[in-house]
Amino acid sequence: MFFKRLVKNDGVKRLQSKVNINSLQNKKDNNQKITMLTAYDYQFAKLIDEAEIDVILVGDSLGMVVLGYDTTLEVTLDDMIYHTQAVARGRENALLVADLPFMTYKTGNIAQTVKNAGQLIKTAKAEAVKLEGGREIVDEIAAVIRAGIPVMGHLGLTPQSVHQFGGFKVQGQTDAAAEKLIADALALEEAGVFALVLECISRDLAAKVTNQLSIPVIGIGAGRSCDGQVLVVHDMLGINNQFVPKFVREYDNLGEKVKKAIKTYKQDVEQGEFPTAGESFS
């Protein structure tokens, strides 16, 4: 793979631009922001990679964004493998991270967790895995790391616990909850995670965590003090027609544009204006 890239392009520069966990750490150490977006298929992975985003996440948000579920809970390991394989074919330089979905870890069977994480690496070609949770899963995370798999942490609004939260709600709002989150973040760093996602917490709490940790902290709905930002790609492109969280900035309204193009196509066909002679064969 690396050799192929060296042959295909003119070598050293491309190899150096391959993002890895060390180059992400260097970005934090040099006060450079880290960019991350989700992708679920080959085409989006290719576009995001060509735009030089640092990290591509095959998020279990897949379930809601692409598969139409109401939560992420129904996503299976096979779903994650299938979509991560497609994404892996489209990306060259971005670091590829995949979520471990609900019930593939935290079940009390750490050996199974390691095997499931291993499948995302070995079968699906991810380079790291992301697990939701704090001190309750540090043993599990340590076991995955011992197997040679880099782990990204995820605290705050961890959507796999949606029923425990009673909905998708801002987290860490009381002093006790904020202290717990900070303690969890420190424990995750101690366990060896290479980066941490903070979702839907106050910008002040996110700033505190970012300052206390040496590893990169990547926020979603966590303010601008984080070392980097992540969004669901469909949200930032305006393709998501369900509820759009307040922390999303829509950089385009592709959903409307796609619908308009499709309507024009329908009109053209119905009025006999597509295809023309040039769009057919003699």
Ligand X SMILES: CC(C)C(=O)C(=O)O
Residues with catalytic roles: 199
Give whichever of 21 and 232 is closer to Mg ion, judged by the CB atom. 232
Rounded CA gap, 261 and 254, in Å?
Answer: 10
Residue 232 lies near ligand MHF (rule: CB under 6 A): yes
Give whichever of 167 and 278 is closer to Mg ion, judged by the CB atom. 167
Please enumerate, by residue number, every residue annotated as part of a binding site for Mg(2+): 60, 99, 132
Residue 246 lies near ligand MHF (rule: CB under 6 A): yes
Map the chain to HEC letters.
CHHHHHHHCCCHHHHHHCCCHHHHHHHHHCCCCEEEEECCCHHHHHHHHHCCCCEEEECCCHHHHCCCCCCCCCCCHHHHHHHHHHHHHHCCCCEEEEECCCCCCCCCCHHHHHHHHHHHHHCCCCCEEECCECHHHHHHHHHHHHCCCCEEEEEECCHHHHHHHCCCCCECCCHHHHHHHHHHHHHHHHHCCCEEEEECECHHHHHHHHHHCCCCEEEECCCCCCCEEEECHHHHCCCCCCCCCCCCCCCCCHHHHHHHHHHHHHHHHHCCCCCCHHHCCC
Residue 200 lies near ligand MHF (rule: CB under 6 A): yes
Please enumerate, by residue number, every residue annotated as part of a binding site for 3-methyl-2-oxobutanoate: 60-61, 99, 130
Residue 59 lies near ligand X (rule: CB under 6 A): yes
Residue 38 binds which entry of ligand MHF, ligand X, Mg ion, none, with Cβ cut-offs from 5 to 8 Å by kind? ligand X
Binding mask 42-71 toward ligand MHF (x if CB under 6 A, else -) reads -------------------x--xx------
Q: How far is the CB of 230 from ligand X (least distance, A)?
A: 5
Which residues are within 8 A (CB) of 278 and not within 5 positions of it... i.e. 6 or more apart?
none
Window contacting ligand X (CB under 6 A); options: 10-18, 20-28, 54-62, 258-266: 54-62
Instruction: Check: CB of residue 42 under 8 Å from CB of residue 89.
Output: yes
Residue 101 lies near ligand MHF (rule: CB under 6 A): no
Q: How far is the CB of 256 from ligand X (least distance, A)?
A: 23
Residue 79 lies near ligand X (rule: CB under 6 A): no
Please enumerate, by residue number, every residue annotated as part of a binding site: 60-61, 99, 130, 132
Residue 227 binds which entry of Mg ion, ligand X, ligand MHF, none, with Cβ cut-offs from 5 to 8 Å by kind? none
Contact pick of 143, 197, 213, 226 for ligand X (by CB under 6 A):
197
Query: What does the binding site for ligand X look like in residue numbers (CB under 6 A)?
Result: 38, 57, 59-61, 99, 197, 199, 220, 230, 232
Residues that bind Mg ion (CB under 5 A): 59-60, 99
